[in-house]
Structure 1
């Protein structure tokens, strides 16, 4: 997958296109991307995804901007891993772009730049100033401009009693309520975050405290089971006990981590942390170094 920004002089003669934040690249996103790849094959054209940084709501309604499931780098890795995307265009979202009419966005970016032949998006998609560009609006525009629009129905998570929808909003709700198993069903993978070590103890076990990224979706304050490894490291995951807490002095979400394994850690190191499930026993994390955190 080739990653490009709005500063790149990208011109595609033709493409099948999808647009969205793709935050977390969950099972619903993957359903859209599978259809994107299939239409690209049928049309004999490459596929292109358009996404944004920062989240549009951080500009339009900062007070209502959601916590993110994945950083931009993580999003690129997750999109690439689907095998459905040939080109990913990351557009900087600012006030000027928030005021761009849907028609102008379609003409300048999707058609003139990407050569869009077909647009494949979730059925609740909307773009442009005031979210004018709904699937119905874009379908009418498509008839005038000569492209096609496919609105993909929102996926449902199988096996759930209340037919949980596969959406970033639902994944965030489950993570923030501490239901990591439920979130994994929506994401089709365990939820992962990057943490920067702020305290480390020299011991036979990995015992550290790490600050989680600002603006990232973290589990509720509780005890969890999961795994850890160095960021951008391909080594095996090391099982870990994880305790989430809020640091009132800094306003950061912190994780205290205990793992058995040969993983040296020092202050400032970045760890990749995987949350698998809640530690439902209710017992405190047991390790001989616990008094050092007092």
Structure 2
């Protein structure tokens, strides 16, 4: 898959294709329906299929700076998923203030027509141009007759729209298994193993303290059944805690600590990928080390059951 990065005023080179439009955070089932529609149209027209997306999120550029923008998928994971689906080419446009000020017509002229679009595919709620003034209903006008388009209707699951917002809400509730159904795969995060206080090793449950290297949406505080992928490709079942360790600290920063089952190696400095499979329980304070150890032993059993190990 070809990846073409552009920063305004750079324009794409004309290379005829069917182009799917969207931000695609999560590349969830709704997004996949858009992409699959574009793939089917490209086969019908005997053309390559391309995606035109943006990075970073518009709110990160145009916001007032007080709200941290969190993502379901970093750009590299988005691109991986698109390649797996069969996309031939991706245009990644750097979202800047200057780019945001393009009128809908200028966006169509300088990016879609310039790229050689022969057919555009996007979701029913896609907007483009300054203030999002361009809508799918206006695309025929702005296309100047150079391309046709397909509008993909809302994709639902359990009578509710599948959306990135819905997936973020599920993750905030700890509903990682439900989020996986909408993503089409388990929710994933990556991070570097850093040194902690080694308290887990002292009580018989050594953990890898993971620092995310990206502004991920982090599931709510609690204990989860997870799979951990090492840099060498090995995969291990694990139980992972997101929390402030209230048994030991009255207050503290949120940390992500994972205990790999049947594993005892040094992981410091490695990048680990976590797949969040099931929510096990809330984080809570215990009245002593022994009661904590008893609960961790139960957590291990429940994690193994959840992961069918």
TM class by smaller structure: 0.7 to 0.9
Match of 1:292 in 2: none
Question: Where do residues 144-183 of structure 1 align in structure 2 (5 Å cutoff)?
Answer: 144-157=144-157, 160=158, 163-183=159-179
**Deviation of the 1:63 alpha carbon:** 4.2
In structure 2, which of residues 237, 240, 243 is the aligned counterpart of residue 242 of structure 1? Answer: 240
Contact 2:241 2:258 in 1 (8 A): yes
Match of 2:219 in 1: 219
Contact 2:236 2:261 in 1 (8 A): yes
Match of 2:71 in 1: 68
Match of 1:77 in 2: 80
**Deviation of the 1:261 alpha carbon:** 3.7
Distance 1:12 1:65, change over 3 A: farther
Question: Where do residues 1-294 of structure 1 align in structure 2 (5 Å cutoff)?
Answer: 1-6=1-6, 10-61=12-63, 62-63=65-66, 66-83=69-86, 85-112=87-114, 114-142=115-143, 144-157=144-157, 160=158, 163-199=159-195, 207-231=207-231, 233-235=232-234, 237-245=235-243, 253-262=254-263, 264-280=265-281, 286=296
Contact 1:57 1:65 in 2 (8 A): no
Whole-Å Cα distance in 1 between the matches of residues 220 and 11 of structure 2? 43
* RMSD of aligned residue pairs (Cα, Å): 2.7
- Secondary structure of residue in 1 paired with 2:167: helix
TM-score relative to the length of structure 2:
0.81
Q: 1:51-86 CA deviation, whole Å, 9 max, x = no partner?
A: 111111111124456410011111111111111x10
Q: 1:244-264 CA deviation, whole Å, 9 max, x = no partner?
A: 12599xx96421111124463
Q: For structure 1, which runs of at least 5 residues remain unmatched after alignment?
A: 288-294
**Structure index of larger Rg:** 2
Q: For structure 2, which runs of at least 5 residues remain unmatched after alignment?
A: 285-291, 298-309
- Secondary structure of residue in 2 paired with 1:192: strand
TM-score relative to the length of structure 1:
0.85
**Deviation of the 1:103 alpha carbon:** 0.9
Whole-Å Cα distance in 2 between the matches of residues 79 and 43 of structure 1? 20
Distance 1:207 1:65, change over 3 A: closer
Distance 1:125 1:145, change over 3 A: same
Q: 1:220-257 CA deviation, whole Å, 9 max, x = no partner?
A: 011111110224x433x211101112599xx9642111
Match of 2:305 in 1: none
- Secondary structure of residue in 1 paired with 2:139: helix
Number of matched residues?
Answer: 278
Distance 1:269 1:252, change over 3 A: farther
- Secondary structure of residue in 2 paired with 1:255: strand
